[in-house]
Chain A
């Protein structure tokens, strides 16, 4: 089967259709954003969408915030190329929601207001804790943003089928990359500064709906092709991969066994465990996820939103499993790596093949490809908007209002600062992404999870459940976990000393694992404990207030 992306005849059609669909999405979301801006009057409207969303709406928005291009294109790609191991990612990303559901969502909703730091600083000295929380929020969000924006740039040439030596609207592939990064950055700045949390939430809801629909349609087509026989789909995928049964088992990508090199095998397996822990503990410490719990009126609604989110996200990862194995069976690993070595184009290529199969020839293929490509761009936009909002909220509410101004500022001023912050963070992300566009920064998503799990999660859990916890403990755990995760990754093979590293030609690595979680997460918890017991500060009265408020919802905003 001819699976070369955008075969010449279909190329122009697919490209025009992708752009048309994408522009329709942009037009609709901009209209929503302008509508939302008229509804945004108070700080609560801007930061928390007026706390007016229902559990279902917020559950969809959480899905839209969480299911990034990395999970859609990335996981489908890993499964298509390495088989079963991509599934490990999905499972970690899903099980992680139980931490949020059981330990964090409702208590945070009851005791906080706009940002993660509201809970962390509740019974602490405001300035040091809010500064630490803002540093960590912005670091995590920028890492995540860079991965998404550089990813968008890399995808555009592939999704629009701009081949080396050809041009599109007078742009070659490299120019198109930069143009995409700037466009994505500009749109996310508009969504956030104009629409605030309300606009961003609706963008995420629309995107979640489109992504789920797209993935569902493709999955049904894949399964229909195999007469809904999962076993024969798996068999074909294994055969086409050339790796046989091993393709359906763990071990081709993570925890690789190197015969005769016990140490390398050991490190590789440790790396798998380390990744698994960071995935499962990171979600409940991601600031852009945490602030979503403030958009609903009550703790009960926060619980409902996580339940919806678990349903939506779980269903989505089951669909990506079918898409990944479908791409392996129908498109084939060779055709995928010919387009993109990392496999990110597996899902769009599968769409093209399925479209050609079911709806006839190049036109059918081009149409389905265009739809999925447009969905992929919508996905990226919704995620980067959520990240920009989280970091600008923290900069304005935590750092400006409570550190610089000591809480002496008007709502209006604070929201203005949040808007300016979104502009600045957006601009900085655009510039950094342009510098990083040719570097392999895919590891930044895993690093964001590791930082969230090592620095933020210990501080959140200690805050909510440990009476003795204090300012010094909070500051130690955030900085300790953050620094441990970042430094270990800096000296790991994902940054230098390996062909796939960010700087492949240099080598300063000494830490053998790509994922720092297995060390940095316990270290973050340890720092939080040590910082606490080394300081005499203790405020039982304030803990009583926090505990009563977080468990009962008394005095909730």
Chain B
């Protein structure tokens, strides 16, 4: 099964270079920042969505409560899912622009990579 090795077996130096970056404090900070945002946020929006689906299945009376005219809790709850999706997307984009991109750019620069952020690449 000699053919079943990873496509580009890295040279010793490449592997060591990546390992060194991975073990650096700067990278650990980047990983912690990213995971610290996306994991709790994923759990939060999933539970919020699950609550909505569960209420739709089991709390019909509550969901049918009329608020204004013919507009009931179910409709407002559904629209709030739209609002929360837009807000989380906006929060994430603000967070990534401020906390992720600069660090990622810096690490890449330290690795001797040309900064590609402003032009297309193959």
Residues of A within 8 A of B (CB): 42, 44, 50-52, 84, 87-88, 91-92, 94-95, 97-99, 101-103, 106, 121-128, 230-232, 234-235, 238, 245-246, 248-251, 254-255, 257, 269, 272-273, 276-277, 280, 297-300, 303-304, 306-307, 310-311, 314, 317-318, 402, 406-407, 465, 539-542, 544-545, 547-549, 551-557
B81 to A: closest C-beta gap in Å: 5
If A235-B69, A556-B116 touch, whether A280 touches B56 (CB-CB below 8 Å) is no
- Does A249 lie within 8 Å of B18, measured CB to CB? no
Complex Cα gap A276–B57 (Å): 11
- Does B64 lie within 8 Å of A249, measured CB to CB? yes
If A231-B68, A314-B82 touch, whether A300 touches B74 (CB-CB below 8 Å) is no
Complex Cα gap A22–B87 (Å): 38
Complex Cα gap A173–B6 (Å): 53
User: What are 10 A-to-B residue pairs whose CB atoms are below 8 Å?
Assistant: A98-B42, A234-B71, A238-B70, A245-B64, A249-B72, A273-B57, A306-B89, A314-B82, A540-B19, A554-B21
Complex Cα gap A330–B66 (Å): 23
Complex Cα gap A549–B104 (Å): 10
Contact of B56 among A88, A304, A549 (CB under 8 A): A88
Residues of B within 8 A of A (CB): 1, 3-7, 10, 14-15, 18-19, 21-22, 27, 30-31, 34-35, 37-38, 41-42, 45-46, 49-50, 52-54, 56-58, 60, 63-64, 66, 68-72, 74-75, 78, 81-82, 85-86, 88-90, 92-93, 96, 101, 104, 107-108, 111, 113, 116-117, 119-122
Q: Which residue of A lies closest to B20 (CB)?
A: A544
Q: Which residue of B lies closest to A407 (CB)?
A: B7
- Does B30 lie within 8 Å of A94, measured CB to CB? no
Tell me what chain B mostly uses at the interface: helix, strand, loop, or mixed.
Answer: helix
Complex Cα gap A300–B46 (Å): 24
- Knowing that A407-B7, A541-B19, A551-B104 touch, tell me 8 more A-B residue pairs with CB under 8 angstroms: A125-B5, A232-B70, A249-B74, A280-B46, A310-B85, A311-B86, A544-B15, A552-B30
Q: How many pairs of A and B residues are in contact by the CB < 8 Å rule?
A: 202
- Does B85 lie within 8 Å of A97, measured CB to CB? yes
- Does A547 lie within 8 Å of B31, measured CB to CB? yes
Contact of A231 among B21, B41, B71 (CB under 8 A): B71
- Does A95 lie within 8 Å of B81, measured CB to CB? yes
Residues of B close to A306: CB separation below 8 A: 89
B12 to A: closest C-beta gap in Å: 10
- Does A99 lie within 8 Å of B49, measured CB to CB? no
- Does B42 lie within 8 Å of A553, measured CB to CB? no
Residues of A close to B52: CB separation below 8 A: 91
Residues of B close to A545: CB separation below 8 A: 10, 14-15, 18
The 7 closest A-B pairs by CB, nearest first: A231-B69, A276-B53, A250-B56, A234-B70, A125-B4, A544-B22, A249-B64
Residues of A close to B66: CB separation below 8 A: 245
- Does B104 lie within 8 Å of A552, measured CB to CB? yes
- Does B42 lie within 8 Å of A102, measured CB to CB? yes
A473 to B: closest C-beta gap in Å: 15
Q: Which residue of B lies closest to A311 (CB)?
A: B86
Residues of B close to A238: CB separation below 8 A: 70
If A249-B64, A307-B89, A553-B104 touch, whether A276 touches B49 (CB-CB below 8 Å) is yes
Most B CB contacts (10 A, CB to CB) among A101, A103, A257 go to A101
